[in-house]
Amino acid sequence: MIKKLASKFFKFYCHPDYWVDISGDLDEIYRHNVRTRKKYPQLRYFMQVLQLFRPSLIRPITENSIINSNHTIMLKNYFNVAFRSLLKNRMYSFINIFGLAIGLAAFLMINHFVAFEESYENHIIYRENIYRVQLDVYQNGELVYKSSENYPGAGPAMLEDFPEVISSAKLYNMGSKNNVIITSENGEETPQVLKHKRFLYAEAAFLPMFSVPMIQGDAQTALEKPHTIVISESMAKKYFGNENPMGKLLRLEDDDFNNELCTVTGVFQDIPENTHLKFDVLISFNTLYTRDTSGNGWAKRRYGNGWGRKDFYTYVQLKPNADPKRLESQFPNLVDKYKPENKEKNMKDVLSLQPLKDIHLYSQLTDEAEVNGNGDGVFYISIIAYFILIIAWVNYINLSTARSFDRGREVGLRKVMGSYRSSLVAQFLIESLVINGLAMLVAFILIFSTGNLFHNLSGTPLDYVIWSQSWFWIMVASVVFIGSLLSGIYPAFVISSFKPAQVLHGKLKTSSGGVALRKALVIFQFAMSVALIVGTATVFDQMEYMQSKDLGFDMEQTIVVERPPKQDTSREVRSNRVKSFKTGLKQRSEIISVAGSTLLPGKKLRFKTPIRTNLQSQDEAVPLSVAGIDFDFAESMNMEIIAGRAFSEEMRDDLDSLVILTENASRALGFEKPEDAIGKRIEIERFRWSPSVVGVMSDYHQESLKEEKPKTLIYLSGTGSEYFMIKVNMDQSSQAIASIEEQWYRSFPGNPFHYFFLDEYFNSYYESERQFKDLFATFSILAIIVGCLGLFGLSSFTAIQRAREIAIRKVLGSSILNIIQLLSKEFLILVGTATLIVWPLSYYLMDQWLDNYPYRIDIGWTSFVYSGVVVLLVTAITISYQTLKSATANPVDALNHE
């Protein structure tokens, strides 16, 4: 198809003397490419044809060629006329071209963003056949969670039971437990100690399945042996500089007291930004099995093929022609086979396959590797892109119809001189092509002159460009082409149909059909603008609501440090160090409080277990999150105890036998009032632990407002805390950081110091919302500007057309105010109609969008009123310049040349 077109095109432009042998060359290369299975032979053919388009090879535009000289001269003439008419009406040309250019620039930029969001995982060769196994857990028929993680046994079982599954890879240690430091041990005086967040344990099958490009080492075998490590190019540079990293040793230490020496068996190219799974360091999965210190094989069960804990990502690769739906239908049997105990516990596990390409935009599961993108947002934004483009085109059509009276004379004259209708059509279409082409040029200038601004706005990495991709140029070409056709077709066919006798006689008023069309288009344009304003207002309100809503705790002025990954194994020593860290800090005036906990606001609570009161039966148990805090936590995070009391340092019992519930958790356990829970006994089967409730704490938002408030059981963790939340005096924050660092190195020598601000961390969950909001607002404003440009042109045109009428009215005694009313009435009515029509539609759309949020605003009438007022005001301002000008003009000027 592409080839056929390209070869036709080639024959069209190529010098006839050269055509035979060059096209022979092209065919020969094409066949060769097909035979050697090069990618996209047709596209290559097409590109070569494009490259052959050179002056020395094009057919000469003289006699003897198929385009005869008459045509060429006419064509030239059309372009001439087009440029002349552009120059003659500079203001209209400017409005046309500039409006279109803004529209096109916005359209291309949005496409850039959309293309980036949709390009996730594109670098993975087998992406079409790779699926993540999703786990939905039901208890007592109720959906408890939808998880992106799975049991370690799921992957191996699928590989064994289903022939369609040709490969499976487990990944471990994402998201939560990656408190790891890796030290280079090659005799340097100051070895590199780096803390790693983008870190994974991966099965050997992972590298080939995800086609990770290796610079050194073999993807098939690099992760086979225990204690092998594969690192990214930039990590290799950090640890070893210019030396060859292969075979070098790295020491891995984490806060589970693992301390292992690993051999570098591979280096891969840095992973691109557009993937949901970002990693710098991979450790062989088999390393986990060597941690079986007791020798009874628990590690093999825990990490190998157990079906107990679900904390592994499982990816499977299917045969290219396998049907994932059919495979999914066999999963219930698989679960029954490996988890027979589910039935008696009244539990149900549902496994399903999630296509790799869907993860970034459409997956919203717990325990995701990173905050996902927002598929809906991308969809809404791309709608705006088309809105803007259409609004820009509508401007052009509007202005052309408005000017049809003027152009009508030209057409009449041409016809009288013997012009064919077909050549008039061609002339108008070429004019439209010139305008669209120029607009595209200006659009590119606009895009390049705004530079990084757009990258910052949309959060796309600077090195991601779509200019290098061929589909982009095809899109640019087709937008110009379709645009020229769409915006040129009405003037081309309607104006060219004018009867010369009538036009030249002055009988032709602007056709009523044209006026109706123009009105309809203005209504349409402004309907879209109003919808965009309502949308922008709603998005802003919702964001404002989410960021300002009381979260149930106070995250201002809080610096967080994670517990040291490198620790002494003795509990005593550890406990003393934590104590010295805390007391050391508390003595300083710039530090207000220090609280430890196993939970970090903003981070998903990973651990859930079925919990019941001692009066409930086993199948009444509800899954609650479990978290540990120390004495100072509730107080320093400003969380309220609404019944009972908080943990207290004075009471020794607190450590082992008492827990606190959140309000939601106490309700879930069947207590009507928080007070009812106090003193009751709780059963936690998995821990064989039955503590009593000492207090109930008010609910808080563990995560962003995109999630429900958690039901949490809280125990006293003392020195087992994973995070320290340090409240500081904000005006002394740099001093505070310095003293935390100093105290850190004193209490935890050998550990690198890292910190972050809690509110920044928490708000990073709103990143895709922020992006959405900024893009939505920016492009809505652009759309409105484009619409107004058109309106400006239209109003000034009407004013000029009606100049004589206005003059006569003034002579007969109309006041300036009357004239203004007269001129603006029509536009205000149009815009008002647009507003009324689109309100219900935009209400519906925004309501749909808000439904994605469990905590959302109701759309108030205010944003509708605002949108109406704003649009009417903008309209009034836009048209006021011309209206005022013609209303105050001296009637003599308009009347004296008749």
Partner 1 sequence: MKEYQLGEFEEIVMLTVGVLYDEAYGVALKNEIEERGQRSVSIGALQSTLRRLEKKGFLDSRLGEPDKERGGKPKRFFRITAYGKKALTHSKEIRSELWDSIPKIALDLKIR
Rule CB under 8 A: which residues touch partner 1? 18, 20-29, 31-32, 48, 50-57
CA trace torsion 258, 261, 263, 268 (10° rounding): 40
> Residue 789 has which token pair?
């440009």
| DSSP annotation of 150 | B
Smallest distance, partner 1 to C-beta of residue 46, A: 12
CA gyration radius for the chain?
A: 35
Residue with Cβ nearer partner 1 (9 or 83): 9
Residues 579, 306: Cα–Cα separation, whole Å: 38
Residue with Cβ nearer partner 1 (59 or 360): 59
8 A C-beta contact, residue 192 and residue 239: yes
Smallest distance, partner 1 to C-beta of residue 51, A: 3
Instruction: Provide the greatest CA pair distance for the chain.
Output: 109
Residue with Cβ nearer partner 1 (29 or 475): 29
Q: Would you list the DSSP string of 721-762?
A: -SEEEEEE-GGGHHHHHHHHHHHHHHHSTTPPP--EEHHHHH
> Phi/psi zone of residue 344: left (φ > 0), alpha (ψ -120 to 50 degrees), beta?
alpha
Taking the alpha carbons at both ends of the chain, their separation in whole angstroms is 61
> Residue 562 has which token pair?
């994670």
Residue with Cβ nearer partner 1 (47 or 474): 47
Residues 472, 482: Cα–Cα separation, whole Å: 15
Smallest distance, partner 1 to C-beta of residue 62, A: 16
Find where tokens 């009606």 sit.
802
Residue with Cβ nearer partner 1 (51 or 190): 51
Smallest distance, partner 1 to C-beta of residue 29, A: 6
Smallest distance, partner 1 to C-beta of residue 170, A: 42
Smallest distance, partner 1 to C-beta of residue 329, A: 50
Could you tell me where the beta strands, DSSP code E, fall in 222-376? 228-232, 249-254, 259-268, 281-284, 312-318, 347-355
Among 269, 262, 116, 117, residue whose Cα is nearest residue 207:
269
> Rounded to the nearest 5°, which phi and psi values hold at 515?
-65, -45
Smallest distance, partner 1 to C-beta of residue 6, A: 13
Smallest distance, partner 1 to C-beta of residue 776, A: 43
Smallest distance, partner 1 to C-beta of residue 272, A: 25
Residues 245, 222: Cα–Cα separation, whole Å: 13
Residue with Cβ nearer partner 1 (28 or 708): 28
How, if at all, do strands 558-562 and 756-757 pair? antiparallel
Residues 810, 593: Cα–Cα separation, whole Å: 78
> Reduced to 3 states, what is the DSSP secondary structure of residue 83?
helix
Residues 505, 413: Cα–Cα separation, whole Å: 11
Residue with Cβ nearer partner 1 (20 or 417): 20
> Residue 640 has which token pair?
């309220």
Residue with Cβ nearer partner 1 (24 or 513): 24
Q: Which residues contact 336 (CB under 8 A, 6 or more apart)?
A: 342
Among 874, 867, 887, residue whose Cα is nearest residue 792:
874
Q: Which residues contact 728 (CB under 8 A, 6 or more apart)?
A: 557, 558, 559, 590, 591, 592, 736, 737
Smallest distance, partner 1 to C-beta of residue 27, A: 4
Residue with Cβ nearer partner 1 (7 or 263): 7
Strand partners, 627: 714
Residue with Cβ nearer partner 1 (26 or 236): 26
Smallest distance, partner 1 to C-beta of residue 64, A: 18
Smallest distance, partner 1 to C-beta of residue 17, A: 9
Smallest distance, partner 1 to C-beta of residue 53, A: 7
> Rounded to the nearest 5°, which phi and psi values hold at 176?
-105, -55
Residues 690, 434: Cα–Cα separation, whole Å: 80
Residues 481, 437: Cα–Cα separation, whole Å: 9
Smallest distance, partner 1 to C-beta of residue 23, A: 6
> Reduced to 3 states, what is the DSSP secondary structure of residue 602?
coil
Residue with Cβ nearer partner 1 (29 or 81): 29
Residues 536, 534: Cα–Cα separation, whole Å: 6
Smallest distance, partner 1 to C-beta of residue 57, A: 5
* Count of residues in the chain: 898
Residue with Cβ nearer partner 1 (5 or 50): 50
8 A C-beta contact, residue 717 and residue 629: yes
